[in-house]
């Protein structure tokens, strides 16, 4: 049997990897700010990154139905996190923009998550920290390679 020139590929327990990444993500998304479900938080972050944007564009980016979007945007507006802005030349259209309060809440959530993760890293050994640091470029590549879509039913996203 001829020797392969390909390096041996370690077996990856893909299901285990998916579960651990999901658990870590879920724990980092928990925060003390009332009224922001994961769907609202995701929509607010999308408006921050991509806004101002039309409501239909937000619905498409978040893969949510217009009726769900209406409730979600109303809740974000009532909380003072976003505002609707008229589109010049189109009286029927509006865009959604993040408010200073929306930016503040996203920054606080980011800080809370960073502190939580930093504190969790203190429980790891030096070898575990080195392995995690070495894995970061690979995890970033994996995250960039995955599509942004989800197959979760809309009812699971609020």
Report pLDDT digits (tens) over 68-115: 898 999 999 999 999 999 888 887 888 999 999 999 999 998 888 899
Q: Going along 10-134, which residue ranges are E strands?
A: 53-54, 82-87, 90-98
> What is the mean predicted confidence (pLDDT) over 133-141?
93
Here the tokens at position 12 are 């990856």
Token pair 């995890």 is at which residue?
A: 139
Q: What pLDDT shows up at residue 67?
A: 84
- Residue 133: count other Cβ atoms within 10 Å of its Cβ: 9
Summarize pLDDT for 25-37 with one digit per residue, the tens.
Answer: 888 877 666 568 8
User: Please, what are the domains in the chain?
Assistant: 35-146 (1.10.10.10)
Residues, the chain: 158
């Amino acid at each position: 049997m001829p020797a392969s020139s390909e390096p041996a590929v370690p077996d990856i327990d893909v299901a285990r990897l998916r579960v651990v990444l999901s658990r870590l993500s879920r724990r980092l998304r928990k925060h003390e700010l009332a009224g922001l479900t994961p769907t609202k938080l995701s929509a607010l972050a999308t408006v921050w990154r991509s806004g101002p944007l039309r409501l239909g564009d937000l619905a498409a980016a978040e893969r949510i139905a217009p009726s769900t979007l209406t409730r979600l945007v109303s809740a974000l507006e009532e909380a003072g996190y976003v505002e609707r802005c008229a589109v010049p030349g189109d009286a029927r259209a509006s865009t959604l923009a993040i408010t200073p309060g929306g930016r503040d809440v996203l920054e606080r959530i980011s800080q809370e998550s960073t502190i939580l993760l930093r504190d969790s890293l203190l429980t790891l050994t030096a070898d575990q920290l080195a392995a995690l640091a070495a894995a970061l470029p690979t995890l970033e590549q994996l995250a960039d390679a995955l599509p942004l879509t989800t197959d979760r039913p809309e009812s699971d996203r609020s």
